Chains A and B, each alone.
Chain A
Amino acid sequence: MYRHEGEDVFVIDSHVHLWDASTENITHEGGEQFIQCFYDYHTGFTPEERQWDMEEYRNYGAERMTRDLFANGAVDVGIFQPTYLTEFYAEGFNTIEQNAELAEEHPERFVLNGRFDPRDGDAGIRELERQKEEYDIQGVKLYTAEWRGDSKGWRLDSEESFRFLEKCAELGIENVHPHKGPTIRPLNRDAFDVADVDDAATSFPELNFVVEHVGLPRLDDFCWIAAQEPNVYGGLAVAAPMAQNRPRKFGEIMGELLYWLGEDKLLFGSDYALWNPDWLVETVMNAELTPEQRDEYGVEFDLETKRKVMGENAAELYDIDIEAKKRAFRSDEISEEFGLGEQYGADAAAD
C-alpha cells in the first residue's frame, strides 16, 4: 500500500493491460505502428532512467507485470481493460483471455473487464453473456472508433449500441469505459468526439460511463457533458503522467476536472504498460496545484481528494470494500511474495 507523508493510500489502478505486441503476433503494419506510437507516449512521459527498451515493451509477460504493479506497494488492485485489435494482431493485442491469465491467478488483486462491439450483432450478445458467465465481468472497455470492414466505427448512442447497453444493465455490468483518445484509424470522422456519451449516459442512468483519457484532446467537450451527467466519470490515463514533465499543465487539467466534475468523479489509471505505476503513483501523489491554480479554480488537490482519485472512487464503482481488502492482503499470495504484509497491518513479529 502506498504511504504518503505517513498516511496509507489504497491505490486502485483503474486501467492496466497485459499486451502482446511481439513481432510474431503482428499481422498488419498497423500493429507495428500502433506499438511504436505507444512507445513514443511511453518515452515522452517517462523519466529517462525509468524508460523500457522496445523489446521488453512489446511483450513483458505476467510475471513482470505482477512485479511492476505490486512489488513496491504502488498498486493494491488493478482493473484490466481489454483492447482487441484482432485485425492487427494474430492473437489480439490485449484480450480478456490474455488478461485472464493473470487475473485468475490473483483474483483478489485484479478486476477483469470485458468488451463488446455492437457490430457483432447476436454473436456479440452471446459473447457478452459468456464473458459475464465465465469471468463475472462488472465492466466493459469500448473502442467506438475501431474500424471494421466498411464500417468507420460506431456510436455509443446508436440503436445497436443501446441493445448492448441494455444487455449490460440486465447482466449487472455497470461500468462502461469508452476510450476517447488516440484511435485506430480516424479519417474525416472526428473519432475523438465525446458527444455520443451524452445521450447514452442520459438513457442508462443505472450504468456508469468512465470516459478514458478524459476525452483528451476533447477535454472541453468532455467536461461540459460530464458536468451535466451525474453518471459520467473521467479516467485519468494519459493525463496522469503529465504530472511528471508537464506539472503546470497537469495542474490546469486537474483544476478543470475538479471544477467541472468534482473530486468524486475521477479515477486514476496508469494505462500500464504505457506507463509504470511503480513511479507514476508517487508522481501523482506528490503533484500539487500552484497557489494561483487553487485560487483560479477554487479546488484542492489535497490528500483527501487524492485518496478518492487514487482508489476510493473506483472502489465505489466496483463495490470494492477497501477495509476488507486490507485485511485480506495481510497474507495473500502477492503480499507473501513481496513482503507487503506489514503495509496492510500484519504483525511484524515473524522476522
Chain B
Amino acid sequence: MTGEDSPRARGDEHGSAGGAGGTDGSVDRATVLDRVARVTDPELDRSIVELGYVTDVDVGVDGAAVRVEFRLPTAWCSPAFAWMMATDVRDEVRALGTVDAIEVVLTDHLFDTEITRGVNADRSFAAVFADASPDEDVDAVRETLANKARFSRQYLAVEALLDAGVRPRQVVELSPADLEPLGDDVAVSLEDGAVSVVVPADPLDRYLELARAHGLVTGPDDPLFVRPDGEAIAPDEFGHVHRRARLAHVNASGQASICEALQSARYDDGAAERSGDAGTVGPTSSQESF
C-alpha cells in the first residue's frame, strides 16, 4: 500500500513530490525528503518530517542509493508504530522508482536493531518479532489508527464549514459535487446551488484525501461526511457524530503534546550527551503555541 492512494500519504505541502530531481531520472535529497514527508506518525496523523523524527537523509552521488535515519520521542514507542513508520519510509522512497538501494535506520529505540534489519531485508513484522501476537497483526492496528485519523480530519473539515456559516443540516447533505476549487479555497454550493460559501481548502482536502483512500467517498454524489461506521449521517445525529469526531481530534492532538514534551525532554538541552546525536532535518515543526 504505497503511493498516491495510500491512507498515510500526505498532500504536497512540502513542495513537489514524486518527481525526479535530475534530468537523468535520478533523485536529489529534496525530492527524497518530500517523499518521506508523506509518512505520518500513525497515532498523531502528522508528518514524521514535520515532527522532527527524521535525523538524516543521505543520497548517494548518482542518486541510486538512499539512506534515511529517524528516531522517536521515546525508546518505548510502540514497536508496531515504529515498524509502520519504517516500512512506510522504505515504501515511499521505493515508489520514486529510481532508487536501487534503500536503507532505513531507526535509532534510540528498544528494538532499533530488529526493526532496522527487518525493514531493510523486506521481512514481515511477524517474522522479525517471533513473539508477536499472531491474532493481532500490524495491519489491523494500522487500519484502526487510519480510521481515527480520518475521523479527526472530518472534525476539522466540518468545523471549517460551520465557521463559514454552513448549517448542520446542510453539512450532512453535502457531496463532493458541491465543492469547487477556488485557489486556496473551496466554493461550497448549498441549497441546490442557490447559495455558495467559501471555505479554506486545506481541511477539506486533507479529509477527502483519507476518505477517498478508505473508499468511503467514491462518487461525486456520495455523502461527503459519514459516521464512524461509514454510514451517512442523519440530520438529528449530526451533533453526536461531530462531538465524537472532536474527541478523536482531541485525543490525537493531546497525545501529540505528550510526545512532543517527551521528545524535547529526551533530545533538547542535556539530551545530546544521552543520545550522542543532534539535530533533525526538514522544516521546523510548527507546534501549537500556548
A residues neighboring B (CB under 8 Å): 30, 33-34, 36-37, 39-45, 150, 152, 182-183, 185-192, 216-220, 223-224, 238-239, 242, 245-249, 252-253, 255-256, 259-260
Contacts of A223 in B (CB 8 A): 247
How many B residues face the partner with a CB closer than 8 A?
Answer: 40
CB within 8 Å of A: which B67-105 residues: 74-76, 78-80
User: B164 interface residue, CB < 8 Å from A?
Assistant: no
Which among B78, B129, B141, B262 has the greatest number of chain A C-beta atoms within 10 A?
A: B78
Chain B residues near A246: list those with CB within 8 A.
257, 261, 290
Query: Are the CB atoms of B250 and A219 closer together than 8 Å?
Result: yes
Distance between B247 CB and nearest chain A CB, rounded to angstroms: 5
- Within 8 Å CB of B141, what residues of A? 188, 190
A247 and B290 within 8 A (CB): yes
Q: Chain A contacts of B264 at CB under 8 A?
A: 44
**From residue B83, how far is it (CB to closest CB) to chain A in Å?**
8
Q: Cβ of B257 and Cβ of A190 under 8 Å apart?
A: no
For B251, the chain A residues whose CB sits under 8 A away are 216-220
A249 to B287 CA separation, bound complex (whole angstroms): 12
The answer to whether A253 and B250 have CB atoms under 8 Å apart is yes
CB atoms of B261 and A186 under 8 A apart: no
For B141, B244, B261, B266, the residue with the greatest tally of chain A CB atoms inside 10 Å of its CB is B261
12 A-B pairs with CB atoms under 8 Å apart are: A36-B274, A41-B265, A42-B265, A44-B261, A187-B80, A188-B80, A189-B132, A190-B141, A216-B251, A238-B258, A242-B258, A245-B261
B74 near A186 with CB under 8 A, answer no
Kindly identify which residue among B243, B255, B265, B290 contacts A44, using a CB–CB cutoff of 8 Å. Answer: B265
Choose from B133, B144, B248 the contact partner of A152 (Cβ within 8 Å): B133
Binding site for A on B (CB under 8 A): 43, 74-76, 78-80, 110, 125-126, 129, 131-133, 136-138, 141, 144, 148, 243-244, 246-248, 250-251, 253-255, 257-258, 261-262, 264-266, 274, 288, 290
Interface of chain A: mostly helix, strand, loop or mixed? helix
Within 8 Å CB of B79, what residues of A? 186-188
| A33 near B110: Cβ-Cβ < 8 Å | yes
Taken together as a complex, chains A and B put the C-alpha atoms of A182 and B264 apart, in Å, by: 18
Residues of chain A lying within 8 A (CB to CB) of residue B261: 41, 44-45, 245-246
Contact check, A249 vs B133: say whether CB atoms are below 8 A apart: no
Partner of B254, one of A40, A189, A249: A249
User: What distance in Å separates the Cβ of A44 from its nearest Cβ neighbour in chain B?
Assistant: 3
- Contact call A188/B148, Cβ cutoff below 8 A: no
For A247, the closest partner residue in chain B by CB is B290
| B255/A33 in contact, CB under 8 A | no
Could you say which of A33, A216, A220, A260 contacts B258, with CB atoms under 8 Å apart? A216
Across the A-B interface, give the 5 residue pairs with the lowest CB-CB distance, nearest first. A44-B261, A44-B265, A217-B255, A219-B251, A40-B265
Contacting residues, chain A, for B258 (C-beta < 8 A): 44, 216-217, 238, 242
Q: Are A249 and B257 closer than 8 Å at their CB atoms?
A: yes
Chain B residues positioned under 8 Å from A245 (CB to CB)? 261, 290
Residues of B within 8 A of A41 (CB): 261-262, 265
